[in-house]
Amino acid sequence: MRLNDYLTLGRSGLRVSPLCLGTMTFGHEWGWGSSPEDSCRIMDAYIERGGNFLDTANIYTKGHSEKIIGDHLGRHPSKRDRLVIATKFCGGMYPGDPHGGGASRKTIHASLEQSLRRMQTDYVDLYLMHFSDPFTPIEETMGTLDALVRAGKVRYIGFSDTPAWRCAQAQTLAAFRGWAPLCALQIEYSLVQRTVEGELVPMALDQGLGVTPWSPLAGGLLSGKYRREDAERARAEQASKGAIEGRRGAWVYDKLSDRNVAIIEACAAVGREHGATIAEVALAWLQRKPGVVSTIIGARTMEQLDANLRSLEVSLSPEQAARLDEVSKPALNFPHDFLNFVINTMQNGSTINGRGSEVWNLSPTGDSERF
């Protein structure tokens, strides 16, 4: 796969690259990240290689991420119009202001106008609710987003970090009212974080939402920097310095659980078979998962961008993917494991849509045993 092998996002005609450039690292306002100059070089390199999908949010680096994008691309219509720019609302920008964040009509309109100003553009290609707002009726949020689509200020809409039932509620309401539907779902998803496969991913597949995973390397855990010996050192540090002084060790050790270390080692083994890094294997595994359209990659340096883009050259075999699936198998909430357990009870030896089963040992063996 190449960066310019575009995919349609969910049940829409919006074409996006298989890797989306996340811009949360643009700017130093959060104490880390890329300078505006380096951010612009990263954007240019991504675009030159065929990438067309940028992801940001109003709150990223206190709004500077959007401004960096606007200063570099927004003032050039020929560059801006070739790109799919996604930004988000919901994050609070002003301490003490109850309308500084959330998904109310007042907040959405104010957030959008500010984002358009910072990005120096007349429209947003993909506008996402950043978090589920428990205080605003979903009718108000979806009606407001539909009005913005009809006004031409927003082209497509989506949700991020929202429960599956809420997404399905919003999508059903949109269909009933004839409103613009959701076409994207941004969620944390990686070899380490697979619980989204219980509710969120099946919902996205059913409701026509293209999945755009964030933190595909699990906050750096799958970057290749960590090994089993790091967990052992962290445990020793915690034991020698105590729980308070050993907080850094505690953080590493908590992340480097036996399960996660096994995942890292499995990625390393598959990587050796491909001449690829752990990060490249982890990204390649995620990109082939059902529902995933465009994985959001972060890059503070050109070297990190190059490393992430190389993942598109890694083609996992079914056997390799199955090995990674098995080592990272998640524990899902009820009733998912139970439903897998009773598959034989339901299918009773039959194969349906390629999924086989065994004969249920408590079922009737013939007509004579049926009551």
Distances 345 to 2, 85, 149, 350, 361 between C-alpha atoms, Å:
44, 48, 47, 10, 9
Rounded to the nearest angstrom, the gap between the alpha carbon of residue 194 and the centroid of all alpha carbons in its chain is 11
Cβ atoms within 10 A of the Cβ of 302, count?
Answer: 13
Order of strands, sheet of 182-188, starting from the edge strand that comes earlier in the sequence: 210-214, 182-188, 154-160, 124-129, 84-89, 53-55, 19-22, 295-298
94 carries an active-site annotation: no
CA distance 40 to 351: 53
Do the beta carbons of residue 45 and residue 10 sit within 8 Å? Answer: no
Q: Is the peptide bond before 134 cis (omega within 30 degrees of 0)?
A: no
Which among 180, 181, 198, 163 is positioned nearest to 291, based on CA atoms? 198
β 295-298/182-188 pair status = unpaired
User: How far is it, in rounded angstroms, from Cα 240 to Cα 258?
Assistant: 21
Q: Which of 6, 46, 60, 123 is an active site residue?
A: 60
Say how far apart CA 279 and CA 287 lie, in whole Å.
12
Phi, psi of 101 (to 5 degrees): -145, 175
Active site residues: 60
